[in-house]
Amino acid sequence: MQKNTLAAIISAVAVFAFFVLVLPQYDAIKLIKEAINSRQATLNERTAESDRVREMDSQAKSRQADINKIKSFMPERKQVDELVSSIQDIAEGSGVQIMGMATADASSYEETRYKKMLIGVDIVGPYPSFVNFLKLVEQSLRLYDVYEVNAAASTTSVGSVNFSVKINAYYLK
């Protein structure tokens, strides 16, 4: 009978030890595995996002020439000096002479991503040279919008015409 009692006590201690010592550790290990799996999924998502950012960065670097072209026809700021020198270069290339130039900011009524700058240019020269001036303005990398042209006979030289041109130039806000 002592053998059966001893066997029952050992079995009872083993079952007790299993429920008190082993089973809680098993549950803790199970929770830790779930946490590891959750964190691994988060790490995988962040790694994928990081890869997408690197890919977009490499695309931006490979398309830098296109970005620079876009910035040349609609720069990020006014750049009045660049506008004036650009119009002067166009005038010199077309054979007309600039008599006066004025710039002003345009008031904006609509909500857009860009702003306008008004340029008023007084030009003297023959009509074919003025047509060439307009062609060069159209072919310029900078975005110009000629919206008004006035002409009057020149009193200073024969064969020349006084032109007053109003142009819009655009830049980002």
Q: Where are the domains of the chain?
A: 2-62, 74-172
The total number of residues written for the chain in this structure: 173
Q: How confident is the model at residue 158 (pLDDT cuts 50, 70, 90)?
A: confident
Cα 87 to Cα 26, 46, 122, 145: the distances in Å are: 80, 50, 11, 13
- Write the CATH number of the domain with boundaries 74-172: 3.30.70.60
- The pTM assigned to this predicted structure is 0.58
Name the DSSP class of 46.
H
DSSP SS3 for 56: helix
To the nearest whole percent, how much of the chain has pLDDT over 90? 35
CA 56 to chain centre: 12
Q: Which of 120, 55, 58, 129 is nearest to 90 (CA)?
A: 129
CA distance 63 to 77: 21
Bridge-partner residues for 103, per DSSP?
A: 119
Does the pLDDT of residue 66 top 80, yes or no?
Answer: no
Does the pLDDT of residue 70 top 90, yes or no?
Answer: no
Task: For residue range 9-30, list pLDDT tens digits in order.
Answer: 888 887 777 777 777 888 788 8
